[in-house]
Structure 1
C-alpha cells in the first residue's frame, strides 16, 4: 500500500473533488442537491478572489479524499475556520486518511491563528460523529440551521 500524502489542493484536482462531492451527496441521501458547475467550483477556489481552500489526500497519485474550508467570522470569537466538507471515498475509509486531513486542518487553523474550527454533521451520520469525537469536538444541540436559497 503506497504511503498517503496530504497536500494543498490545486486547480487540476477540482474534477476529482467534485466526484467526491457527488459521492458524499449520494451517501447523505441528496444526490440531486449538487448543482455547482465545475467552472464555478474552480473559479470559487482558484479565481481572482478565492472563497475556499482545501487539502487533498492521495495514494499512488489518486485523490482519495479532501477537506474544504473557508473563513467564517464570529462577532464573539473572531476568525474561525469553517469546515465545509471532509470527504474520504468509501473504498478508502478506515485507513486514517480522514485523520490526516483533519490534522492538516488543525495545523492550518493554528498557523493562521483562527480561534477554532466549526462544521455541521448530520445527526444520523454515526460514523462521522464518532470520527469527530476522537478530536474532542463538542456538539451543540441548541442551534437550528437556517437557509435562504436564492437561486
Structure 2
C-alpha cells in the first residue's frame, strides 16, 4: 500500500463527502449531516474559501482511492494571534493503525508552522477514547481537564434571536 497525503482539489469533493458520511456514522450522528457536494465545492474551492482540506489517497494496483481527510480553517486568538482549527480528522477503519492519521495531522501542523500559527485547536467527543488517547500521545492538551474550558454552539433560532438583539441597539 502506498499512501500519499496531498492538498484536496475540487474533484475530490464527492470522495470527501463520502468520508464525512463515514465519520458521521462512526460518531453515531449520520442523521445530522446536511452537507452536499455543491456546498463543499463552493465553500472550499469557490471565490471565498472557508476551509482547507488535505486528503490521504491510497494508490494500489494502478488505482487510487481517498481513505482519509483533514479539514481545517484559520481562527484568531486575541492573546496569541493566528491559529488553525482542525474540524475533522478521519481515516477509514480498514486503514487505521498505519500512520495515515498521523500524516494527515502532520500536514495541518506543517501548515501551522509555515503560517506562523500559535495553536492548532480541535474538539473530540467525550466517548471517543481511542482518539483522545491518540491526541494526548501526540502532546495535545485537553482544555476541559486543564483549564476548564467548555465548547458551546448556537444554531438556528438561537442565532436568529441573538442577531435580533443587534437590531435593538
C-alpha displacement at 1:55, in angstroms? 0.7
1:84 aligns with 2:83: no
- 1:91 deviates by 1.4
> TM-score, normalised to structure 1's length?
0.95
Aligned residue number for residue 119 of structure 1: 122
Bigger relative contact order, structure 1 or 2, given CA contacts below 8 A and separation 6+? 1
User: Which residue is equivalent to 1:96?
Assistant: 99
Greater fraction helix: 2
TM-score calculated relative to the size of structure 2: 0.85
Give the count of matched residue pairs.
150
Question: Residues of 2 paired with 1:122 and 1:65: CA distance?
Answer: 19
- 1:20-73 deviation digits (Å, cap 9, x = unpaired): 111111111111110022111110000001010011111111111010000011
Structure 2 unaligned residues grouped into runs of 5+: 158-169
Per the alignment, residue 66 of structure 1 pairs with: 69
Equivalent residue for 1:31? 30
Following TM superposition, by how much is the alpha carbon of 1:104 offset from its aligned partner in structure 2, in angstroms?
1.0
- Aligned partners of 1:100, 1:67: CA distance in 2, in Å? 10
Question: Distance between the aligned counterparts of 1:102 and 1:134, measured in 2?
Answer: 13
Which runs of 5 or more structure 1 residues have no equivalent in the other structure? none
Structure with bigger gyration radius: 2
Q: Which stretch of the first structure deviates more once superposed, 44-53 or 130-139?
A: 130-139
